[in-house]
Amino acid sequence: MHKKLFIPGPIEVKQDVLERMSTPMIGHRSKDASKLQRDISNKLRKLFFTNNEVLLSTSSGSGLMEAAIRCLTKKRAAVFSIGSFGDRWHEMATTNGVEADLFKSELGKITTPEMVNEVLSTNKYDLITITHNETSTGVMNPLEEISKVVKKYPDVIFCVDTVSSAGGVKIEVDKLGIDVCITSSQKALGLPPGLAICTISERAIEKARTIKNRGYYLDLVQLYDTIKKKDYQYPSTPNISLMYALDYQLDRIFEEGLENRFKRHLEMAEYTRVWAKKYFDLFADKEHASITLTTVKNTRNISVKDLNAILGERGFAISNGYGELKEKTFRIAHMADLDMVDIKELLLEIENILNLQ
Ligand SMILES: *Cc1c(COP(=O)(O)O)cnc(C)c1O
């Protein structure tokens, strides 16, 4: 039996979107390939409210996260972490020989604009990374406030991980001054895994040109120059099947309307938070709780493992806590194409299983 996915990636994918992946194959050097990839980039620019170029990578989001920190740091990177995915960005730096410092907040808390200001004011750093929505804790950073601070440091390249928020929450790349905004296909965009997406500013590309040892497959300059020279074709063979699904899904997203989509995500989040507070508690502070997933504090000491096993028999999957939070929390994703009916159905099922009232 198929389990409906309420896990924070991969997420439930609509059948008609899945079916687009069986579109007959085309050559990756054909005019059709150029058109497909050009259309996708144009649509993604609308989704991210940007005039910047868009790069697609046949990798997961982590591929472009690694690319960004490696290709764009000359002096030293300031990596802000509020959980596992922030930590990962720091590991990517050190394993690539990029000088970087990690600034970690307590689990469940945000990166504050004050922290960012204090760190950048040392003038030691020429790149900063921020996790917009930390999927391991269900905390959403105040991106707009942070961006105001980063703007005071015009020589710093601003990289943001929006892997589990883009497509579910409004992210205005140009207004926020984000140089590299990264996401993956399998989260709030509602597609299977296998594609990474980023927007990239002109100044980021110009800076990357001055940096040595950018690698090969994930060299942002090579990706950028190739799509410019070859009309949106990529240096190596991309995941064309997933691109068909992405192109189609972006049309579906605009058909729903971006504002409607963001509103639907907020409604699902608010409903889930009220439920979580009624029967358990929220792991994140209410004002920084994620809009695309809710991390529930396991105040009743239930076995999350057993709950998920029974849910599985009934056709649902949720997520346990991440890492050290495995049994202390559980996570319910409410992103992509899930709606209020799905969420209510899931939460009612949990109430029944646990005899909550
Ligand atoms: C899932 C996730 C990632 C990793 O993305 P992959 O596509 O699995 O490489 C990075 N950051 C955040 C916030 C995520 O949720």
Q: Give residue-wise pLDDT tens across range 76-105.
A: 999 999 999 999 999 999 999 999 999 999
The fold adopted by the segment(s) 4-9+257-354 is: Aspartate Aminotransferase, domain 1 (3.90.1150)
Residue 152: is it exposed, middle or buried by C-beta count within 10 angstroms (0-12/13-18/19+)? exposed
Mutate which of 7, 184, 185, 246 for ligand 1? The one with the most ligand atoms within 8 Å of its CB, which is: 184
Q: 184 alpha carbon to ligand 1 midpoint, in Å?
A: 7
Average pLDDT, the chain: 98
pLDDT value at 352 more than 90: yes
Give percent of the chain above pLDDT 90: 98
pLDDT value at 72 more than 90: yes
Give yes or no for residue 62 CB within 6 A of ligand 1: yes
Atom of ligand 1 nearest to the CA of 196: 7
Give yes or no for residue 85 CB within 6 A of ligand 1: yes
The pLDDT of residue 357 is 80
Q: What are the pLDDT digits (tens) for 321-331?
A: 998 899 999 99
Q: What are the pLDDT digits (tens) for 10-61?
A: 999 999 999 999 999 999 999 999 999 999 999 999 999 999 999 999 999 9
Atom of ligand 1 nearest to the CA of 134: 13
pLDDT value at 195 more than 90: yes
Give yes or no for residue 135 CB within 6 A of ligand 1: yes
Domain extents for the chain?
4-9+257-354, 22-254
Atom of ligand 1 nearest to the CA of 63: 9
Atom of ligand 1 nearest to the CA of 184: 7
Q: What are the pLDDT digits (tens) for 240-287?
A: 999 999 999 999 999 999 999 999 999 999 999 999 999 999 999 989
Residue 95: is it exposed, middle or buried by C-beta count within 10 angstroms (0-12/13-18/19+)? exposed
The pLDDT of residue 69 is 98
133's CB contacts (< 8 A; 6+ apart) are 139, 140, 141, 162, 163, 164, 165, 169, 290, 291, 292, 293
Q: 10 alpha carbon to ligand 1 midpoint, in Å?
A: 10
Q: How many CA atoms lie within 13 A of 217 on its CB side?
A: 9
Over residues 198-207, the mean pLDDT reads 98
Q: 261 alpha carbon to ligand 1 midpoint, in Å?
A: 21
Give percent of the chain above pLDDT 70: 100
The pLDDT of residue 8 is 97
Give yes or no for residue 58 CB within 6 A of ligand 1: no
Q: 300 alpha carbon to ligand 1 midpoint, in Å?
A: 29
Query: Does the domain made of 22-254 have the CATH classification 3.40.640.10?
Result: yes
Q: How many CA atoms lie within 13 A of 221 on its CB side?
A: 16
Over residues 135-160, the mean pLDDT reads 98
Give yes or no for residue 137 CB within 6 A of ligand 1: no
Virtual torsion, Cα 35, 36, 42, 47, nearest 10 deg: 170
Q: How many residues does the chain have?
A: 357
Give yes or no for residue 60 CB within 6 A of ligand 1: yes
Cis link prior to 10 (omega < 30° from 0)?
Answer: yes
